[in-house]
Amino acid sequence: MSDIDEEIRREVIAEVYRQVDELDWDGMTPRERSQWYVRWIDDPRIGGKLTRFIERDRVRVWIKDGPIKELPRARYGIGPYAQFAVSRYPGVEQIAHQAIGPAWVADPETVDIKPNRCLVRGPESDVLMIWGPAAKLADLVWAGINARVDGSAEPLIVVTSPQGTRLSGGEMLRQRVLAKQASIELRHITLRLARV
C-alpha cells in the first residue's frame, strides 16, 4: 500500500466509496459485486490511477481487501477509512443513546474493534457496549464473556439491524435468551444509514 502516492490513494478510496453508495452495494449479490471489481480495474478513476503504482492483477485484491473490507467499520466512523465514507451509521454516541438512554455518554477513546466495543459512562456506573449485526451474535456473546473474565465493565450486547431489516419477535427473544445464558443483557436497535 505504501507504494501508492498518498494523494492518489485518497482519491481512489473516495471514488470507490462514492460509487458503492450510488450502486446500492448492500443489496448486491456476491456475483454482482464480483463484476464490479472487474469493472473497477478498467475505471480510469480507480484502476486507471492504481495501475500507475501497482500491477493490474493486484488492483482487484487491493480494492477488496482495503476499502471494501473496511467499509462496514468506516460507516460506523471507525478505522483509517472512516473519513471517506459517504454514508454513515449513527456514531458511537448515538448508538449508546439509542440503546441505553440519553444520559449515557460513550468514551470515544475506548473504541475497539472485532467486534466493535466501547466504554459507555452512565450516571452511576459504566458499561462495555458491544455492538454488531445479528449475524455476528456469537462474536458479540464471546466478547461479553471475555469482558466478564477480564473483569472489565459490565458488558451489554447491542444487536444492530440496518434500516429495513426487521427481526421477528421470536428471533429477538431467542437472541436475548442466548445472551442470558452468559448472564449478559442484550438489546436491539435499528440503525439508519444516512448520507453525510
Interface residue with another protein among 19, 51, 94, 110 (CB under 8 A) is: 94
Task: Determine, following the binding rule CB under 8 A, whether residue 98 of this chain makes contact with another protein.
Answer: yes
| Matching residue, cell 469493472 | 39
State the amino acid at position 62 in one-letter form. Answer: W
- Give the span between the Cα atoms of 10 and 195, in whole angstroms: 19
Residue span binding another protein (CB under 8 A) among the ranges 1-9, 67-75, 137-145, 188-196: 188-196
Q: How far is the CB of 9 from another protein (least distance, A)?
A: 28
Q: Which is nearer to another protein, 163 or 183 (by Cβ)?
A: 163
Residue span binding another protein (CB under 8 A) among the ranges 7-15, 25-33, 75-83, 117-125: 25-33
- What is the distance, to the nearest Å, from the Cα of residue 73 to the centroid of all Cα atoms in its chain? 3
Q: Which three cell numbers stand for residue 144?
A: 461479553
Task: Determine, following the binding rule CB under 8 A, whether residue 30 of this chain makes contact with another protein.
Answer: no
Q: Would you call 157 helix, strand, or coil by DSSP?
A: strand
CB neighbour list of residue 164: distance below 8 Å, 6 or more residues apart: none
Binding flags for another protein, 100-139, as an x/- string (CB under 8 A):
----------------------------------------
Task: Determine, following the binding rule CB under 8 A, whether residue 165 of this chain makes contact with another protein.
Answer: yes
b or e along 42-64 (b: 16 or more beta carbons within 10 Å of the residue's beta carbon)? ebeebbebbbebeeeeebbebbe
